[in-house]
């Protein structure tokens, strides 16, 4: 089918205390792994790109591959732009068929951030595209983005409410103890904070930095209102491990072999995360 609205998927998931898994992809094989994994479980899925991935693969190429695969598989698939600081890049994404975008103005002060987010919301809503925003600061490393421990800041519930009211965003990424990248120790999620934010605002919450968070904590977050769960690092690691393993044979030079093996490993993680988010067979409801 054609690409669908992320918000429609997320809203319906939220009603049923489920979450839509959103996977950061990097190339043809990772897109295939996500789509094929979701299809096998009959689950809706969000495919997302960071600015770094677009630099690597090109907006046009990524969007064309995702649209082609969406046309081949009968499950709802949304295409989302993750952590984008640029209004112009978001316009290009939307022109290429993205169905939702995240505008990230975290480096700006509050008023400038609101101004940027509002301008994206106005433009995107005019063409039926939804917008994710972030308040508080999720720490860690993703792409060129690095937020150290001193700059990382938990989302303050009252600020979250004000930010949602001021900007008109559709979904909100919150900082509640997760971080981008892999964790050294076990991450401690602030569940009371999720509960409080969810009670104050009436839009779905997004869990960033879910890679390496214990399944039980992800489940609990979903039960408390997280309706989109982002997975990036946890796809990268098995891919690298498998490629290293296949290429340890010095005679191996066929990309179809090492990338094929990588795809299989990524697909397995995708399927586990979809099960964790509770959306097996959820595609039937769309």
Least distance in Å: CB of 73 to Zn ion? 26
* Among 17-25, 59-67, 207-215, 266-274, the segment contacting Zn ion (CB under 5 A): 207-215
Taking the CA atoms of residue 62, residue 118, residue 137 and residue 82 in that order, the dihedral angle to the nearest 10 degrees is -10
Residue 108 burial (CB count, 10 A)? 14
For residue 80, state whether it binds Zn ion (rule: CB under 5 A): no
* Among 71-79, 86-94, 206-214, 265-273, the segment contacting Zn ion (CB under 5 A): 206-214
Quote the DSSP letter at residue 73: S
Least distance in Å: CB of 247 to Zn ion? 30
Size of the site for Zn ion (CB under 5 A): 1
To the query of whether residue 165 is one of the catalytic residues in this protein, the response is no
For residue 193, state whether it binds Zn ion (rule: CB under 5 A): no
Sheet holding 179-180, edge to edge: 145-147, 139-142, 179-180
For residue 263, state whether it binds Zn ion (rule: CB under 5 A): no
Closest CA to 234 of 218, 217, 210: 210
Distance CA(209)–CA(152), nearest Å, equals: 13
C-beta separation of 30 from 231 below 8 A: no
Quote the DSSP letter at residue 176: S
Q: Which is nearer to Zn ion, 23 or 282 (CB)?
A: 23
Which of 74, 82, 111, 192 is the catalytic position? 82
Neighbour-count burial for 34-46, b at 16+ CB within 10 Å, e otherwise = bbbbbbebebbbb
For residue 208, state whether it binds Zn ion (rule: CB under 5 A): yes
For residue 14, state whether it binds Zn ion (rule: CB under 5 A): no
Q: Which is nearer to Zn ion, 208 or 236 (CB)?
A: 208
Ramachandran angles phi, psi of 137, nearest 5°: -135, 115
Q: Which is nearer to Zn ion, 37 or 139 (CB)?
A: 139
Return all residues near 185 (Cβ < 8 A) that are at least 6 apart. Answer: none
* Among 154-162, 205-213, 260-268, 272-280, the segment contacting Zn ion (CB under 5 A): 205-213
Convert residues 155-184 into a mask of x (bound to Zn ion by CB under 5 A) and - (unbound).
Answer: ------------------------------
The residues binding Zn ion (CB under 5 A) are: 208
Residues marked active site are found at 82
């Amino acid at each position: 089918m054609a690409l669908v609205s992320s918000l429609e998927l997320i809203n319906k998931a939220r009603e049923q205390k489920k979450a839509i898994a959103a996977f950061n992809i990097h190339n043809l094989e990772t897109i295939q792994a996500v789509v094929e994994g979701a299809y096998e479980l009959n689950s809706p899925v969000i495919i997302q790109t960071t600015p770094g991935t677009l630099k690597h693969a090109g907006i046009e190429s990524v969007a064309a591959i995702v649209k082609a695969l969406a046309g081949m598989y009968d499950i709802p698939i949304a295409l989302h732009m993750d952590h984008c600081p640029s209004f112009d890049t978001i316009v290009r994404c939307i022109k290429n068929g993205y169905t939702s975008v995240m505008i990230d103005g975290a480096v700006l002060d509050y008023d400038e951030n609101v101004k940027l987010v509002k301008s994206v919301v106005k433009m995107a809503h005019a063409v039926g595209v939804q917008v994710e925003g972030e308040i508080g600061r999720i720490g860690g490393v993703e792409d060129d983005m690095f937020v150290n421990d001193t700059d990382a800041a938990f989302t303050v519930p009252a600020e979250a409410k004000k930010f949602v009211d001021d900007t008109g965003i559709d979904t909100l990424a919150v900082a509640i103890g997760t971080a981008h990248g892999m964790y050294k120790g076990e991450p401690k999620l602030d569940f009371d904070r999720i509960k409080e934010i969810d009670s104050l605002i009436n839009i779905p919450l997004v869990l960033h930095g879910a890679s390496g968070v214990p399944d039980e904590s992800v489940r609990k977050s979903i039960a408390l209102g997280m309706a989109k769960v982002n997975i990036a690092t946890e796809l990268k690691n098995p891919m690298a491990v498998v490629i290293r393993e296949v290429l340890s044979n010095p005679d191996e030079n066929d990309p179809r072999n090492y990338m094929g093996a990588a795809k299989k490993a990524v697909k397995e993680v995708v399927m586990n995360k979809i099960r964790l988010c509770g959306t097996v067979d959820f595609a039937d409801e769309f």
